[in-house]
A and B are shown apart, each in its own frame.
Chain A
């Protein structure tokens, strides 16, 4: 039984917001890096596994993305230590999904049409319902 749950709503909101923002930043930077590197399967077929690893580890944007994802990971550990998974999991997953969709459109120039927006909203509501 967990005896150290946080009850201050502002602290809860701040913790969850921090996890979401660092996570989204990490996801977008990592996606941008992988987009610039190109299809890893093709690189591996041409230059082997070593070539694929070198292509990834020599990309500075990738490491910046990983840095933010690592920060998000430790922030999530902190959140799980103080808040219920049934709250943190869906809250982070659903809001990050919507932010990633917006970031995909505006920063990664992905073609986020009505279908992708509809899908993002459906999955967001679905994640919330699944946890309650």
Chain B
């Protein structure tokens, strides 16, 4: 595999993907827990949920994620970008440990290490392989 050459800006875009996803999901989860039970008989309640503060904040973060995500997909493979989204969970866990001083179990540390190794393995390769093959032909 050839070495990749990501610019600082492209690393910044991957960083945005990593941060916006878990924060957005956490806001959505908090918002939906405050909603009454939603049944398939009344699907429009899901639309109403969009206008509650936590869900709205979650959606703003997910818009930030999505714009970064499609930008990254324009110069990198899906299999390069997608693992980066999971690294956001590591960021949140580390913030919880060192900022909020929460305890992290051994299995969670193992999870953090595995995700970090996985993302590092992908990051070692070129961001766009399909393009590389086309160029080679």
Contacts and interface: CB of A to CB of B under 8 A. Distances in A.
B118 A119 contact: yes
A35 B66 CA distance: 15
A81 B83 contact: no
Nearest to A80: B32
Nearest to B75: A39
B117 A122 contact: yes
A112 B77 CA distance: 10
Interface size class of A (residues with CB under 8 A): 35 or more
Contact of B124 (A76, A78, A115): A115
A103 B73 CA distance: 15
Contacts of B93: 130
Interface string B59-91: 000100010011101110111111101100110
Contact of B78 (A28, A123, A127, A130): A28
Interface in A101-132: 101, 103-105, 108-113, 115-116, 118-123, 125-132
A116 B122 contact: yes
A105 B82 CA distance: 13
Interface of A: 2, 4, 27-28, 30-31, 34-35, 37-41, 43, 56, 62, 69, 73-74, 76-78, 80-82, 85, 89, 93, 97, 100-101, 103-105, 108-113, 115-116, 118-123, 125-132
Given A78-B38, A93-B86, A130-B111, 7 more contacts: A27-B82, A37-B74, A76-B28, A81-B35, A118-B121, A126-B112, A126-B115
